[in-house]
Amino acid sequence: MTTFLAPRDIARIVAAHGLPVVLNRLAAAIETDFRRWPEFDKVPRVAAHSREGVIELMPVADRTHYSFKYVNGHPGNGAHGLPTVMAFGVLADVATGAPLLLSELTLTTALRTAATSLMAARVLARPVTQGQTRTMALIGNGAQAEFQALAFHHGLGVRELRLFDVDPAATAKLVRNLRAVPGLALTVCASTAEAVRGAHIVTTITADKRNAVIIEPGMLEPGMHLNAVGGDCPGKTELHPGVLEAASVFVEYEPQTRIEGDLQQMPADFAVTELWRVLTGQASGRQRADEITVFDSVGFALEDFSALRLVQQLAAELGLGAPLELIPALADPKDLFSQLQLREQPERLVLQAA
């Protein structure tokens, strides 16, 4: 049997352990897998683009496990009562091909995206001096904003969030969800420029599928770290090219980011560093306190691989998940045809007789 994890199972995992613990364990799991980057069979995700959005498949494998994620991105889905991003994923055994786990990944993607941002910021954001309050501007206050905010609050000590969204209702929702978080101050700003002023970290997580300029070179300040999350498909950007030119740029998987990230605006020879090289000591991260760093984050399949393995473990510990008969159970593995010769259940026969 394949184990199935529904959104309520992920919510129960978070309730049992607490969100800070789950985010930190996700960040640790992703970092562990990034440190063994060469062991994985990797390809850029396969995308089907339409005028309304994109549907993608994201596969990756090591010698023991294979995973893939189905995920969409449709900015207009709110009009249909649907999330912008919806996802599910499979974790399979490489030795047999048997699907071990089928899991929701809509909630889990938000968690792992925030955990990946946290992992990157720990090696790229500048340290704060003693007594200094670490601040983060959060541009785009939609479905994933709370996850990013809480990851940076609990995992990196952010004490002030400076918020802006072109939709005031999104910001109001974010304030409503976070206003009771101890030790976290929320400042609603009237513009992106106001929000980023004085911020140590700037997280952009906007949804519109277009080439947008959310952050301009004139908004940059020495030592700023930009966590650019929203530019994640062709034709969708958030940073002015001059921002990238002024910064040291770090990416997950360069062949994918050159297609989908803010990096798509730059020449093919524009220099970037894959994050796994920093984590393993093969490349430098931040080198100066006044250096501007950019994590051009588009999301990569290895992060979902790590998340699927972790939720599988945590669910098993808590006795969560339902058995799912996804693959036929065969007495004779060569006799697949026998599955079409099922006898009717006795209760059905009784109903028919009545």
When the pLDDT of each residue in the chain is averaged and rounded to a whole number, the result is 94
How many CB atoms are closer than 10 A to CB 320?
A: 18
- For residue 345, the model assigns a pLDDT of 54
- For residue 75, the model assigns a pLDDT of 85
Q: Please give the average per-residue pLDDT across 254-263, as a whole number.
A: 95
Select the more confidently predicted residue: 61 or 350.
Answer: 61
pLDDT at 348 over 60: no
pTM for this entry? 0.93
- For residue 62, the model assigns a pLDDT of 98
Q: Please give the average per-residue pLDDT across 336-349, as a whole number.
A: 70
CA nearest to 140, candidates 231, 213, 230 = 230
In one letter, which amino acid is 265?
Answer: Q
Which residues share a beta bridge with 99? 92
pLDDT at 269 over 60: yes
Sort 166 into a burial class: Cβ within 10 Å, 0-12 / 13-18 / 19+.
middle
- For residue 132, the model assigns a pLDDT of 78
Q: What are phi and psi of 137, to 5 degrees?
A: -90, 135
**Domain positions in the chain:** 2-107+303-330, 127-299
Maximum mean pLDDT: which of 45-54, 203-212, 233-242, 318-327: 318-327
Taking the C-alpha atoms of residue 2 and residue 8, their distance in angstroms, rounded to an integer, is 18
Q: How confident is the model at residue 95 (pLDDT cuts 50, 70, 90)?
A: very high
- For residue 354, the model assigns a pLDDT of 46
Q: Please give the average per-residue pLDDT across 323-331, as a whole number.
A: 93
- For residue 136, the model assigns a pLDDT of 98
- For residue 344, the model assigns a pLDDT of 58
**Hey, which residues are catalytic here?**
232
pLDDT at 349 over 50: no
The token pair that represents 287 in the structure block:
């080198």
CATH 3.30.1780.10 fits 2-107+303-330, yes or no: yes
- 2-107+303-330 and 127-299, same CATH topology: no
pLDDT tens figures, 217-236: 999 999 999 999 998 888 88
- For residue 352, the model assigns a pLDDT of 52
What angle is formed at CA 171 by the lines to CA 53 and CA 251, rounded to 5 degrees?
50
Q: Please give the average per-residue pLDDT across 131-155, as a whole number.
A: 94
Q: Please give the average per-residue pLDDT across 135-147, as a whole number.
A: 96
How far CA 311 is from CA of 17, 94, 135, 163, 217, in Å, comes to 12, 19, 31, 31, 40
The token pair that represents 341 in the structure block:
């010769």
> What is 127-299's CATH topology?
Rossmann fold (3.40.50)
Sort 324 into a burial class: Cβ within 10 Å, 0-12 / 13-18 / 19+.
middle
CA nearest to 146, candidates 109, 117, 175 = 175
The token pair that represents 23 in the structure block:
């985010």
Q: Please give the average per-residue pLDDT across 54-83, as a whole number.
A: 95
Q: Please give the average per-residue pLDDT across 159-175, as a whole number.
A: 97
pLDDT at 351 over 80: no
